[in-house]
């Protein structure tokens, strides 16, 4: 009996000796693993000794996959491809963030957005009663691109100066995060694109103003900063052009009414930059810039220039009201604003310290958005402006008639006698019944 058991266990342990058993194992394994199975090269002995033949025979045979491994190879390939794609996507994200940050700093984005705000305000003021919002968006986008190009070229030309100033040495070009040819390519691309957008969606006048302002800022103001202190006044002209650009983009012309906001920006920039130049005197001296405050050791002339230009802001509100651009409320608000910033300039003139200069600088930052907001809130539409002009014309005619009626008869008689080339009935429509029409035969 043990002999038969040993024979059975040997057959189970060595299925090669029984072809039918091998076929059974193959079919059962195929149904479970969908492949050709065979007994694995296990470390367990294939001995048919009588140690424990029944347990060894009853245990399932250890088998391994000896067919084609296409599925596992495909899975590992997909995993490696996904890992490589993830690494490349991460690198692309980091690269995009890096250059996006560099472009943001090259463009001086916050300053460019202020320029866009002034241009958009000028566009709304020049639009009259109906505003073309698509044109407004295109004008703002074109202005943003041109301003970004101008600021980028400014940093290209001043890369050595910026490297010597604590305030600017961490910019992209001095820190080496981007190369000069790359920055020039960026500036040229956005400058051309912004000018083309203004030419196509606004008009050639707006595009010409944008291109000329870019050239004035990059090729006149920027080198002038290292030559003469008059650069501050040239920079004020550069800052006054964007609202005029917006007005021209909306109305297609440059008129006297469109000069209110540019004038405000011109006079506002002087105290703003005088305060900044006084606060950053050491940095400007280290960078080799010829600022007005560096030639003024006491700061008296710097404060006086700032105060004088603050006082120039006082009549702008009245002019806006008198020219029919805004209502009378803006006249009062603008006057109060000008008095407020003038008081900080007067304080700086009397007490020339860093604290008073910083107070005037903060007041200038507050003045401009409030002034532009008042212009937008209190602006008059075309119908209201025409009604206001008609009323003013009627008042003017009435005052002239009152003056004529108040003239003594002795002074009027020679004029009437000298002009009496028509019969007396021709004057029936003048006095004392001005509402009566003159006879038709009088003109003949």
CA 238 from centroid of its chain's CA atoms = 17
Query: Residue 368: what are its φ and ψ, rounded to 5°?
Result: -65, -50
Q: What are the structure tokens assigned to 370, written together?
A: 């409030």
- What are the DSSP calls for 338-378, one per residue? HHHHHHHHHHHHHS-SHHHHHHHHHHHHHHHHHHHHHHHHS
pLDDT of residue 77: 76
pLDDT of residue 87: 84
- Cβ atoms of 370 and 335 within 8 Å: the answer is no
Q: What are the structure tokens assigned to 437, written together?
A: 């029409």
- Cβ atoms of 235 and 269 within 8 Å: the answer is yes
Hey, where are the domains in the chain? 107-253, 255-381
- Cβ atoms of 7 and 39 within 8 Å: the answer is no
Q: Which residues pair with 37 in a beta bridge?
A: 65
The CA–CA distances, whole Å, from 443 to 58, 430, 439 equal 138, 15, 8
SS3 state at 63: strand
pLDDT of residue 38: 39
Instruction: Please choose, from the candidates 239, 149, 140, 134, the residue with its C-alpha nearest in 3D space to the C-alpha of residue 192.
Output: 149
For residues 126 and 247, give the distance between their C-alpha atoms in angstroms, rounded to a whole number. 5
pLDDT of residue 237: 96
pLDDT of residue 108: 94
pLDDT tens-digit map of 401-444: 666 665 555 444 444 444 444 444 444 444 444 444 444 444 44
**Is the whole model's pTM more than 0.85, yes or no?**
no
- Options 1.20.120, 3.40.630, 1.10.357, 3.40.50; which CATH number does 255-381 get? 1.20.120
For residues 278 and 303, give the distance between their C-alpha atoms in angstroms, rounded to a whole number. 9
For residues 231 and 54, give the distance between their C-alpha atoms in angstroms, rounded to a whole number. 104
Distant-in-sequence, close-in-space partners of 167: CB < 8 Å, separation ≥ 6? 280, 283
pLDDT of residue 63: 47
Q: What are the structure tokens assigned to 338, written together?
A: 């000008």
- Cβ atoms of 210 and 245 within 8 Å: the answer is yes
Q: What are the structure tokens assigned to 355, written together?
A: 């604290």
- The 3-state secondary structure of 22-44 reads HHHHHHHHHHHHCCCEEECCCCC
pLDDT of residue 223: 95
pLDDT of residue 313: 97
- Cβ atoms of 284 and 260 within 8 Å: the answer is no
pLDDT of residue 407: 54
pLDDT tens-digit map of 169-218: 999 999 999 999 999 999 999 999 999 999 999 999 999 999 999 999 99
pLDDT tens string, the chain, 444 residues long: the values are 444 444 444 544 454 445 554 444 454 444 444 443 334 444 444 444 444 444 444 445 554 444 445 556 677 777 888 888 888 888 888 999 999 999 999 999 999 999 999 999 999 999 988 899 999 999 999 999 999 999 999 999 999 999 999 889 999 999 999 999 999 999 999 999 999 999 999 999 999 999 999 999 999 999 999 999 999 999 999 999 999 999 999 999 999 999 999 999 999 999 999 999 999 999 899 889 999 999 898 999 999 999 999 999 999 999 999 999 999 999 999 999 999 999 999 999 999 999 999 999 999 999 999 999 999 999 987 655 555 555 555 555 666 666 666 555 544 444 444 444 444 444 444 444 444 444 444 444
- Specify the DSSP element, H or E, that contains 232: helix 231-251
Q: Per CATH, which fold does 107-253 belong to?
A: Tetracycline Repressor; domain 2 (1.10.357)
- Cβ atoms of 318 and 330 within 8 Å: the answer is no
Q: Considering only CA atoms, give the Rg of the chain.
A: 44
Q: What are the structure tokens assigned to 3, written together?
A: 């002999």
Q: How many CA atoms lie within 13 A of 160 on its CB side?
A: 5
CA 229 from centroid of its chain's CA atoms = 29
For residues 207 and 135, give the distance between their C-alpha atoms in angstroms, rounded to a whole number. 13
For residues 34 and 65, give the distance between their C-alpha atoms in angstroms, rounded to a whole number. 10
Q: Which residues pair with 65 in a beta bridge?
A: 37
Q: Euclidean distance between the first and final Cα of the chain, in Å? A: 157
- Cβ atoms of 38 and 16 within 8 Å: the answer is no
């Amino acid at each position: 009996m043990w002999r038969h058991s040993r024979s059975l266990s040997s057959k189970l342990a060595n299925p090669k000796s029984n072809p039918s058993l091998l076929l059974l194992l193959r079919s059962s394994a195929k149904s479970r693993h969908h492949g050709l199975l065979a007994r694995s090269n296990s470390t367990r002995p294939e001995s048919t000794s009588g140690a424990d033949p029944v347990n060894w025979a009853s245990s399932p045979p250890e088998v391994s996959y000896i067919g084609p491994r296409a599925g596992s190879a495909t899975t590992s390939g997909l995993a490696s491809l996904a890992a490589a794609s993830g690494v490349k996507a991460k690198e692309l994200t980091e690269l995009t963030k890096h250059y996006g940050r560099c472009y943001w700093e090259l463009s001086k984005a916050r300053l460019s957005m202020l320029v866009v705000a002034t241009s958009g305000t000028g566009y709304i003021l020049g639009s009259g009663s109906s505003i073309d919002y698509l044109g407004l968006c295109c004008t703002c986008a074109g202005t943003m691109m041109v301003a970004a190009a101008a600021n980028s070229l400014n940093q290209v030309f001043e890369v050595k100066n910026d490297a010597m100033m604590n305030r600017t040495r961490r910019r992209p070009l001095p820190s080496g995060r981007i190369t000069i040819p790359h920055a020039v390519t960026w500036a040229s691309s956005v400058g051309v694109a912004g000018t083309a957008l203004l030419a196509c969606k606004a008009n050639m006048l707006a595009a010409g103003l944008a291109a000329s302002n870019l050239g004035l800022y990059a090729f006149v103001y920027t080198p002038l900063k290292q030559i003469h202190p008059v650069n501050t006044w040239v920079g004020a002209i550069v800052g006054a052009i964007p609202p005029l650009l917006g007005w021209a983009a909306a109305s297609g012309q440059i008129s006297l009414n469109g000069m209110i906001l540019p004038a405000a920006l011109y006079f506002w920039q002087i105290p703003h930059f005088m305060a900044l130049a006084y606060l950053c005197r050491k940095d400007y001296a280290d960078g080799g810039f010829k600022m007005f405050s560096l030639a003024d050791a006491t700061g008296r002339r710097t404060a006086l220039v700032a105060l004088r230009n603050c006082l120039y802001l006082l009549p702008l509100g009245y002019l806006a009201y008198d020219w029919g651009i805004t209502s009378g409320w803006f006249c009062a608000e603008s006057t109060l604003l000008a008095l407020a910033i003038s008081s900080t300039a007067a304080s700086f003139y009397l007490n020339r310290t860093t604290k008073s200069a910083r107070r005037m600088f903060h007041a200038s930052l507050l003045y401009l958005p409030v002034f532009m907001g008042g212009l937008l809130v209190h602006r008059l539409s075309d119908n209201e402006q025409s009604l206001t002009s008609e009323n003013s014309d009627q008042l003017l005619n009435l005052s002239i008639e009152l003056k004529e009626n108040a003239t003594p008869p002795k002074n009027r008689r020679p004029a009437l006698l000298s002009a009496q080339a028509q019969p007396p009935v021709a004057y029936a429509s003048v006095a004392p019944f001005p509402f009566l029409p003159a006879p038709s035969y009088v003109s003949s």
